Amino acid sequence: MTIRCYKTYRQPQAIGFDLDDTLYDNKPVLEQAESKLLCFLHENFPKSTQYGFKDWLDLRNRVISLKPGLINDTSASRLAALRLGLQTLGYDQEIAQDGALAAFNEFIYWRNNVKISDDIHQLLRELKQYFTLFVISNGNANITSLGIETYFEFALHPSEKVAMKPDNSLFELAEQRLQLPSHRISYVGDHPVSDVVGANNAGWQSIWLNEKQSHLNHYKKPLQLPAIELTSIEQLRVLIPQ
């Protein structure tokens, strides 16, 4: 395991966390949730057997093109796509409305059906003794459903009016809640843009969780160095005062 420090690091008073692919592996979670959603739709709305995963993804892109603010709200965009899809398949407005909500609830149940490891629980318990912990996540995982709400002061998510990371909006909201200077806040995440660039631009100390020991590159955005790079989230224990 490797720890790399790229910048002068000050002891934080608060540590923020990403959720997906930081506290758990999100890929199998989403794959299962998408599969359960399709099964629910096929069982309850037989016409939906005409649609596969890509068709529903195309519908989400369509509703976002019609209402661009939905790009920041994964729940609202999915719900709108489900409603539009059922209507397009020939279900009347009321059935489509109720069916979309029922289907979304099925998805969100499995989306949050995550077993947080005992090691993560222990780590968060230890960190909470010394730091204010909080969450900023672009996704719609819920800390209460995940069973980790007792460790965190609050959790922030984007919406139609509040842009996703790496935009500064969520970081500004968190800083207001914390009432701390930016250099006393650290943020841990796996994504080199959403998490590292976002935290850096907010003036926070970014901690990049690079479990796969990837190169610091991404096709979407110019990159920045984190303050610290970790190859295991367990290494956060080095921040605990001795």
CATH code for the domain of 230: 3.40.50.1000
Residues 9 and 123 grouped into a single domain: yes
Residues 147 and 162 grouped into a single domain: yes
Residues 35 and 13 grouped into a single domain: no
Residue 4: closest CA among 210, 190, 188, 193: 210
**Measuring CA to CA, how many Å separate 75 from each of 17, 207, 211?**
20, 27, 28
Task: With both helix axes pointing from N to C terminus, report the angle between 93-111 and 26-44 in degrees, rounded to the nearest 10.
Answer: 150
* CATH code, domain with 69: 1.20.120.1600
Domain of residue 12, residue span: 3-24+115-239
Residues 100 and 122 grouped into a single domain: no
**Measuring CA to CA, how many Å separate 115 from each of 24, 49, 74, 120, 174?**
8, 31, 22, 10, 26
Helix (H, G, I), strand (E, B) or coil at 104: helix
Per the structure, the count of domains in the chain is: 2
Q: How is residue 107 written in tokens?
A: 């998805």
Among 71, 88, 111, residue at a domain's last position: 111
What pTM value is reported for the model? 0.93
**Measuring CA to CA, how many Å separate 167 from each of 54, 163, 195, 200?**
28, 6, 10, 11
Q: How is residue 43 written in tokens?
A: 């069982």
Residue 19: closest CA among 183, 132, 175, 134: 134
Residues 71 and 179 grouped into a single domain: no
Residues 224 and 106 grouped into a single domain: no
pLDDT in tens, the chain (242 residues): 789 999 999 999 999 999 999 999 999 999 999 999 999 999 999 999 999 999 999 999 999 999 999 999 999 999 999 999 999 999 999 999 999 999 999 999 999 999 999 999 999 999 999 999 999 999 999 999 999 999 999 999 999 999 999 999 999 999 999 999 999 999 999 999 999 999 999 999 999 999 988 777 666 565 789 999 999 999 999 999 98
Residues 157 and 174 grouped into a single domain: yes
**Residue whose tokens read 């020939």:** 90
